[in-house]
Amino acid sequence: MATVYARLGKELFLNIHNISRTVRKEEVALAAAKKMAQDKETVLHIVMLPWLAFGHMIPNLELAKLIAEKGQRVSFVSTPRNIERLPKVSQNLATLINFVKLPLPKVQNLPQNAEATTDVPYDAVQYLKKAYDALEEPFTRFLQSSKADWLFYDFIPFWAPSVASKLGIKSAFYSICTSPFLGFLGPPSFLIDNDSPRQKPEDYIVVPPWVTFPSTVAFRYYEIMRIVDSLSSQNNSGFSDTYRYGASIQNCDIAVVRGCTEFEPEWFHLLENIYQKPVLPVGQLPSTAPVGSEDNETWRWMKDWLDKQARGSVVYVAFGSEAKPTQDEVTEIALGLEKSELPFFWVLRVQRGPFDPDVLRLPEGFEERTKARGVVCTSWAPQLKILEHVAVGGFLTHSGWTSVVEAIQNEKPLVLLTFLADQGINARVLEEKKMGYSVPRDERDGSFSSDSVAESLKLVLVEEEGKIYRERIKEMKDLFVNGERQNRYIDNLIHNLKKLSNV
C-alpha cells in the first residue's frame, strides 16, 4: 500500500510540475506579446531641423511623411515663409506632423524676407547661414518644451546635438546627401581639425586614401573651385561647411543617411568604419506628388503642350532651386538645344531671388527660332509631373539627388551638367554605374560648347551608342522605388530609434 501511495504522490508531483512549466511558458509568451504590443503602441516624437534649402527641406518632409505613416509624431521646424511654401501633406498625416515656425533672426546683408537659399544670390548664402545659427536660442526654447525623443538635424546647425544632449534628447545627423559624398568627405576629425590632409583644392580632385576600394568618385577641378569658398572658415558665416559637417557627425548618437545598402554597400560600410557609430540608411525616398497638384493651372498648360509631342522625344532641362548657370553657360545650353533639333522643355531660373542683380538672358532670337518645338519656363514648374509624362525622353540635370531619384522613378535617362555642392560626386557615381552621361567640359574652367550639349543629348536620347543609359535607368528603377524595400528601411529606422532611446 505504501508503494502505491508513493507512486501516486510522484505522479501528482510530476503533473503539478508540468502544469507549472506550461503556466510559466504561457506567462513568458504573454509577456513577450505584451512587450511587442507596447512597442507598437509606443509613439516616438521626432523633431526635424533641416537646412533652409528646398533640396534639403523636401527630403526631410518625405522622411517625415514616411515616419508619420507608421504612427509616429514629427515636429518639422523651419521659418514661417518656408513652411508656407512646402508641399501640403495629406489630411490623414496632418495630425501627426506639426509644422513649427521659428522666425529667422535679422542679419546684416541678408535681404528682407529671404528665408531660403532660393531667395538670395549665391554670395549671400553665407549670411543666411549666420542667421540660421542665430536660431539656436529660440530653437532651444522650443526643444525644452517639446518632450521630444529624438532630434534629426542637418549639417548646417552643428550646434543642435549639444542642445539636445543637455536636454536628454537623442540626436541623429540626417544627411540628405548620399553615402558616397559623406565617404568622400572623410572622418569627422579631418573635417574639424586644421591639420586635415586636404590643404588645397587639388586635394579634392583625387580619391582619398581612406577609400580602399576601386572608385573614381572625386570632384573635378572646376567643380571644387566653384564651391571653394564654403571650405574656408573665413567665409561670412564664421564656419566652413567642412567644419559644420565634421561637428555634426562627431556629436550625434547615430547617422541617418539617404540611400540604400543594395545600391552603395561599400560606401555604407566605409561610413561605419570612419564614424565608429551606427549608420542607418533610410532608402532613396522617392518623391510623392503634392496634395492637390492635379488641378494646378500651371500644370494644365504644360500638359497640353507635352500631349502634343511624340512619345519619348522631349528633353526636360532643369537645374534645381540653387544651381544657377553663368550667362555664358546659358548661351551654350540654349544653342545646344537648338542644334540638337530635339523638342525641349526648359525650366530656367533667370535669377536667384529678387535681389540677384545678374539676370540671365537667352541668345537673341532663340525663342523665336525654337518656338515650334521648345518651351522656356522662367517660373515654378511641377518637375515630378513633367518627368511622369510619356513625351519626356531624357533629363538634362545638375545631378541633385532628388532630381536623380525622380528621373529614375520615371525611367528617364540622364545627361549630367554639374554646378554646386555635392553634384560632382553624384555625377561620378552615376557615371561609374552607367546611369548618366556627363556633358564633356574643360577640366580646369568647366567650360563647354553648344556642340557638346547637342551631341550629349542626342547620344542619350536617340543614338544606339547611348542605349546603355536608357536601359540602365530602367534596370535601376526597382532598386530606387520599390515600396516594400522602402517600407522595410523605415521599419528598421523606427525599431532602432525605439531600441536606442529605451522607450
Q: What is the pTM of this model?
A: 0.88
CATH classification of the domain holding 301: 3.40.50.2000
Specify if 25 maps to a domain: no
Instruction: Give the per-residue pLDDT at 380.
Output: 86
Same domain, 237 and 345: no
Domain range for 255: 45-288+482-501
Same domain, 110 and 206: yes
Phi-psi region of 73 (alpha: psi -120 to 50; beta: other; left: phi over 0): beta
Name the domain count of the chain.
Answer: 2
Return the ∠ at Cα 444 (arms to 176 and 399), rounded to 5°: 25
Same domain, 380 and 312: yes
Classify 70 as helix, strand or coil. Answer: coil
Phi-psi region of 174 (alpha: psi -120 to 50; beta: other; left: phi over 0): beta
Instruction: Give the per-residue pLDDT at 27.
Output: 54
Instruction: Give the per-residue pLDDT at 238.
Output: 84
Q: Which residue has the cell 554639374?
A: 418
Same domain, 138 and 169: yes
Q: How far apart are CA 422 and CA 231, in angstroms?
A: 13
Query: Treating both helix axes as pointing N-terminal to C-terminal, what angle do 467-481 and 450-461 enclose, rounded to 10 degrees?
Result: 70
CB-based burial of residue 87 (10 Å sphere; 0-12 exposed, 13-18 middle, 19+ buried)?
A: middle
Specify if 36 maps to a domain: no
Q: Which residue has the cell 541617418?
A: 256
Same domain, 383 and 241: no
One digit per residue, pLDDT tens: the chain, 503 residues? 545 444 545 555 455 555 555 545 555 445 444 444 445 568 999 999 999 999 999 999 999 999 999 999 999 999 999 999 999 999 999 999 999 999 999 999 999 899 999 999 988 999 999 999 999 999 999 999 999 999 999 999 999 999 999 999 999 999 999 999 999 999 999 999 866 788 889 999 999 999 999 999 999 999 999 988 887 767 778 899 999 999 999 999 999 999 999 999 999 999 999 999 999 999 999 988 765 555 578 889 999 999 999 999 999 999 988 888 999 999 999 999 999 999 999 999 998 888 888 999 999 999 999 999 999 999 889 999 999 999 999 999 999 999 999 999 999 999 999 999 999 999 999 999 999 999 999 999 999 999 999 999 999 999 999 999 999 999 999 999 999 999 999 999 999 999 998 75
Query: What's the gap between Cα 460 and its chain centre?
Result: 25
Same domain, 463 and 383: yes
Same domain, 303 and 263: no
Same domain, 84 and 221: yes
Same domain, 130 and 269: yes
Same domain, 375 and 420: yes
Same domain, 476 and 491: no
Same domain, 300 and 228: no
Q: How far apart are CA 15 and CA 423, in angstroms?
A: 72
Query: What is the residue-wise DSSP string for 451-498?
Result: HHHHHHHHHHHT-GGGHHHHHHHHHHHHHHH-HHHHHHHHHHHHHHHH
Specify if 66 maps to a domain: yes
